Chain A
Amino acid sequence: AQSVAQPEDQVNVAEGNPLTVKCTYSVSGNPYLFWYVQYPNRGLQFLLKYITGDNLVKGSYGFEAEFNKSQTSFHLKKPSALVSDSALYFCAVRDAAGYSTLTFGKGTMLLVSP
């Protein structure tokens, strides 16, 4: 079975500071990894994905994520946070072998203060 853990329910950061939202995963084979963002009363929006290759993946709105196979992690990062980045962030995983659906973490609320 595949699973995702987002250990922090909430992350607080001041505007202009770097941010990290943590994610660890478990799959039987190689992973496909995704980050999504959800603004209030909206659906999820795709930010970025890791399939293979470079461990640092760049995505929308200046976000990036670092894949670390030995630590089974896929942390979301941004060098300088904006107040408008405040939202709920979800990490998701699926096994690269065969067909499987995405399994999502419980989500991390990011609050960026002015």
Chain B
Amino acid sequence: DVKVTQSSRYLVKRTGEKVFLECVQDMDHENMFWYRQDPGLGLRLIYFSYDVKMKEKGDIPEGYSVSREKKERFSLILESASTNQTSMYLCASSRTGKEVYGYTFGSGTRLTVV
């Protein structure tokens, strides 16, 4: 069964900490994405990557950075965590090709910043 795996289901961090959220996919997908999900706001795109070492800003990149050193791994970094970054973070991946593919999502990481 194909998978997108997020390393932590729940995280609690302190304000000002540097936080790493890890995502690994085993489907050899070219594209990877980070969304955050908040009640009433739906999913908002933070960053995405369509190739190794490539990254593009999404709709809400402020306060975040990403790293993609290997095709299967896409990391989201909160440089200095703040309470307004308390949220559910969802990683997704997709294939590039002639066919139109949807996204495969991980189970999410619920981050609380105190």
**Contact-size category for B:** 20 to 34
Instruction: Decide: B4 and A43 in contact? CB cutoff 8 A.
Output: yes
Interface residues of A in 17-65 (CB under 8 A from B): 32, 34, 36, 41-46, 49, 51
Binding site for A on B (CB under 8 A): 4, 9, 33, 35, 40-43, 45, 48, 50, 58, 90, 92, 100, 102-108, 110
Instruction: Please name the residue on chain A nearest to B42 by beta carbon.
Output: A106
Instruction: Please name the residue on chain B nearest to A46 by beta carbon.
Output: B102
Instruction: Decide: B42 and A105 in contact? CB cutoff 8 A.
Output: yes
User: How far, in angstroms, from A101 to B94 measured CA to CA in the complex?
Assistant: 10
Q: Is A67 an interface residue (CB 8 A)?
A: no
Interface string of A78-114 (1 = CB under 8 A from B): 0000000000001000001001011111110000000
Instruction: Decide: B103 and A107 in contact? CB cutoff 8 A.
Output: no
27 residue pairs of the A-B complex, CB under 8 angstroms, read A9-B40, A32-B100, A34-B102, A36-B102, A36-B105, A41-B9, A41-B107, A41-B108, A41-B110, A43-B4, A43-B90, A43-B105, A43-B106, A43-B107, A43-B108, A44-B43, A44-B90, A44-B92, A96-B100, A99-B50, A101-B48, A101-B58, A102-B102, A103-B45, A104-B35, A105-B42, A107-B42
Instruction: Decide: B40 and A102 in contact? CB cutoff 8 A.
Output: no
Contacts of B50 in A (CB 8 A): 99
Q: Nearest Cβ in chain B — how far from A100, in angstroms? A: 10
Considering residues B48, B90, B100, B106, which has the most beta carbons from chain A within 10 angstroms of its beta carbon? B100
Instruction: Decide: A51 and B108 in contact? CB cutoff 8 A.
Output: no
Contacts of A41 in B (CB 8 A): 9, 107-108, 110
User: How far, in angstroms, from A51 to B102 measured CA to CA in the complex?
Assistant: 11
**Contact-size category for A:** 20 to 34
User: How far, in angstroms, from A41 to B33 measured CA to CA in the complex?
Assistant: 19
Instruction: Decide: B40 and A106 in contact? CB cutoff 8 A.
Output: yes
Q: Nearest Cβ in chain A — how far from B14, in angstroms? A: 23
User: How far, in angstroms, from A9 to B40 measured CA to CA in the complex?
Assistant: 8
Partner of B104, one of A46, A106, A107: A46
Contacts of A46 in B (CB 8 A): 102-104
